[in-house]
Each structure stands twice: as structure tokens, then as C-alpha cells.
Structure 1
Amino acid sequence: MSTYTRRAELTPEQLRRVRQDAKRRRVLLSLGAPSRTNSIDEVQRHVRQLYFDRGIPVSAMARQSGVNRDTIMHLIRGFRVVQGERVPVTGLLRSTLDKLWTITPDGASVDGRRRPSHGTRRRLQALCALGFDCTWQAARLNVCPSNLNALVLGTRGRQFVLAATAEAAAALYDKYQHVDPRDVGRGERQIKAAKTRAAQHSFAPPWCWDEDTIDDPNAIPEWTGACGTARGYAIHMRDRIPLCQACREIRRKKDGEASVLDPDKLASAMAGSGIGIADLAVSLGCSKQAIYAWRSGDYVPRSQSIDRVARALGVRPADLLRDRAQSRGEL
């Protein structure tokens, strides 16, 4: 957060800018022109592009434009917090808007302080797959747990991280990628929660990466040694390895564009395996209402859920899907 600076403590240059802004507002008011504008969509898009796509820090943009860093951050987020509630940013001073347009990627250089986030995200996800939860990782990296959690999940669209954070995450990964979480004091409950979360989001463990691929934005994790091929998909199913994105795409191509669960085939498979609704719900970690909805056809599960159901029932995923002709006829 910014702190208030008394007028007597301003430098001559800062004082000159304050007087210029005040004079400009008085002139605009005398001419009948509003000193504020609600047309901020374009400048907001400009600032967000600099922040998310170019990795320009807010502090660098503030230095180049002379605009308070909190004002820039509020514009990027689209809101500011007032008394605990989010208030949308709907307007700016015209003088502020003009200053924001002066920001350029060349003028607000990152000076090597930011790096692409995909390598750091993959390292943190790999530690999570081993059982190191985000709270433990955040404490070791000295960052806010909620910010690290958003980085791991990729929920805030951050394409860059501070170089210091990237280096600290790489050091943490190198130190603990071959360590059992129990050896550093993590309990069974914490380890299980971290691994469950990693399985739900298909986080790749350390052995799926090497030093040449973990920082490559176009690389995919090698779960099976043949990921992205039909053989890789078969190994996933045989060894009950969580499906990676590349093999999931292979599966979709193999089973057709619409991989729709057939309620009748699900009921038959459950009857043949002797597994009831309650037992299947416990095995999948979901509610009985979800199983009822799948069996009745009221809800269509995702492909990942169909794979888990097939493994629990001891059948192939294709044995639970509707026929291609039937699926095409309903679309």
C-alpha cells in the first residue's frame, strides 16, 4: 500500500507535478470540460497487456508514468477494496489516463527481474504431487500462501514471476524432489491432501520432467515415455497413471468427438462387478447424488471422471460410452 507524503516533504519535481495536475484540473473545470472520464476500457487493456503479456512490473510502470502504483494495480484488477468490499473502477482523471498512455515496454523495462512462470509452476506442482502442500512451500519461499496457490493452479493468468521467486522455487525443487515429505515433518493428512489435489489437477511429478524440458513452454510431461501416442494412453490405463493432457487428447480422437457415458452400460458394469452406488461413490470420492445423476442420464461426467469410473469397475472406458452412431444422432 502507498503511504501519504506531506507536501513539505515532496521533492521539487514532485511538487511541480502536483501543481501542474491541480492547474490542469482548474483549467478543465473553467472550460466546462470534466476532469474525469469513464472511457477507460482501452487504457485498461493497454496496462493489462503490459502487465500480463510483457511481464512489466507495476513499480516500473509507476516510475515511467508518474502514476501511483496502487492506482495502476486497481486498474489492472478492475476494482479497489473499500471498507472490506470490492468497488469497481469505473473512471480515471484525464491527467492519469494521459500518463498511462505514455507507458511503453521499452521505457518500463523489466531489467531481468521477471521470468516466465511455466517453469516455476511445474516445479511447485511436482512438489505437490510428492506430498508437499502449498502451505509448506509458501513458508519455505516466504510468499503468501494464497498467491502461491493461484500460481500453482494458474487461476490468475500470471505469465511471469519475479526472478527471485523463480530462483527460490528452483532451489526448493532441487533440494526436495528426492525427499520424503515425512522426513520434513509433514503429517499423513497433509501429504494425502496434497497428493489428492495433484491427482485431481493432473500435476506431473518430478520424474516426468528433466532439466531440458521443465522450462520449455512447448514441452509436455513424460508420464509413460510415450505420452501423446496410443501406446502412452494404453500405459496410463494399464498402470492406473493419471491421464496427461496429451494422452487425453489421443483418447478423445480414438473415442470420437463426443465421449458420452451410457447410463445403461454403467448400470450393467456396476451389476457385473457387484459394486453398488454407495461403494462406487466412496471409491471415487464423490457424492451418491452424482452417481445417481450419471445412471439416470441427468448429468454427463467429464472424460477424466469416466476414466476413474472404469478403473473402479475394472472395465475399459470405451465399455461405458455410447456408440458413436448413437452419439452423432443425438447431436
Structure 2
Amino acid sequence: MVRTRTAGETWTPVGDGTATIAVAFPADGRRVTDVELPPVTRLQRLVRNAGLPTGRSRRRAAADVALCWDEGTVERLVASAPGRRLFSGAIWVTDRLGIEDSERLAAHREVLASLDGLWCLSRPQVDAVRAWLGPEGPPVSYLQFGIDEQFYRFAPEYPERPKVVSLGGDRDRDPATLFAALELVRQERPDVECFVATTSSLPAPDGVRTVEFVPHARARDLYASASVVALATRPNLHASGMTVGLEALSVGRPVVACATPGMDDYFRDGETGFLVTPEDPAAMAARILELLADRHMAAAMGRHGREQVERGHTTAAMCRGLLEIVA
């Protein structure tokens, strides 16, 4: 199925083999469609490895611009060339620098370098990707992430019952630090309910309920029931945890997150919650307990968080940023 939207409507590009194609029309705006990209064939990879031109000619593409959300889809995007200009996010690649086999990374770098532009969701990540691609690489821009503030609607009634919620499970989550922090919280405040969504095999502390998956509507309700939303992440450059954190702020709940590079673009320490040193359970527990002890402060931070989301962390604001990047 191909979905079409007119200019001005909110749209969110997605990964998993899907690219979003923007087609320019004379004067009256744009049409945006989502198309499935075919897998890259063995022949296409052999041609690329031989140093020959790969993919369809972009000059023959029907669309002005084609983009995919992250580098997991970019090889398909380049091979299919559905647009005259191609763009992608660079989100996960910095986790692999210095770790993955250099030959594989070199092939990935070649694909990304062939694009007309890239974006990152963290300012420090922009610098790392630019350095990796070198001076001949495409422009790399900072894109401020946003969420659907209408779906994650503000819940004005701050809960009476103390509760800590932690959702999300990307590769840089740190369940060991989170569980250790929640154990400290429960030792100090055994009345606090703790709910964690995680696929980790680590044993949860006593009194901490875990599930593997939470659908969006359930997540929204959990945020509304929370006193604090806690996010423990390992050091990374792509602001791991920002999606859940912004969703929680949108509902009006304070966030305690790890101060990894770029997180201060999304969370204001002391205003919308607290940022703590990564891999420090005691620091995380102390800030959670501080918010639990002062409901008025926690509620005020949640309100400030909602205001911050409305000012610039919405899906519509993010899409406007994307349009500026591909213009």
C-alpha cells in the first residue's frame, strides 16, 4: 500500500525497510508517500565492492527527495535510488566505531558518504559522524527529535501514590544500574511501586514488577500513573532514552536520566527532572527519592517538561527540521 499526504500534514519517516519519498509539484506543494524498498541483491553488492556505480540512476527517479529514518535502511535506499537526492539519519553507527570490523565499517561508510545529507539526533553525534566521514563527506545536521504531544496528552493530576516507571529497551539501556537504583529506592521507601519494561534477563529486585513489552496506549497510562520516570543508559552519543523521556515530559512527569552526551538538548537538569552520572545507581536513587519526597517540586518539573515539549519537541517540529535539512 502507498500512503499519500499533502504538504503541511504531519508525517513520521520510519525504518525497517521503508523510505519516505517527497515529490515536489509546481507551486501547489508536495506529496509524501511511503514505499517499501526491495532488499539489496548479491549482484548489487558485488558491483559496489568492485568500485563500480551502484543503484539506479537518480536522474531518472520520480521523486525529488527520498529519505529513510536510520542507517539500517540506507543500503536499500542507495541501491533503489527512488529520489534524485537521498538523505538518512545516522543514529546507531557511533555505537560501532572502534568496535566493529574495520572492513564492514568501511563499506557502511561508503554507502553513507554517497548520500546528499545526513542527520543525527544529538549534537555530539554530529561531530563524531562528521569526523568519521571526513571533509569530503555529505553535510551532517543536527535534528531535534520530537514526539506526538497530542497522543501523549498532558495529565494534570499528579498521582498521590508514589510510583517509579521505566520503559524502553534500546541497545544502550542499562538494566543493571536501573535495578540497583530501584533497590536503593525501595530500601529507603518500601511503599514505592516500581514498574519496568525490559527484556533483560537480570533478576529484578524485590518489589519491582517487570514486563517485556508495553504498547503505546498502555505506556501513556503508565506515564500518567508515575511520580517519576527513570532512564538508566550506558555511555552513548545518540541520546538513548530520549523518546521515553520526552513522552513522559509530554504527559507531565519529571524524568531522571543519565547525563550522556546530547541529553541536555532534551532534558533540563533541575527544571524538567535531573540528569545523573551514567552507571551510578546511588546518584540515580538519590534524585528519584528527592522527587518522591517533594510532590510539589515533582509536579512543577512535570509541567515545565510539558511546556518544553510543546515549544520544540513535537513531531511537527521535527518534521519541519527535516524539511529544512532536505530543502
Q: Give TM-score scaled by structure 2 length.
A: 0.26
Q: Which structure exhibits the higher relative contact order, with contacts defined as CA atoms closer than 8 Å and separated by 6 or more residues?
A: 2
Q: Give TM-score scaled by structure 1 length.
A: 0.26
Q: Which has the higher strand share?
A: 2
- Which protein has the larger Cα radius of gyration, Structure 1 or Structure 2? 1
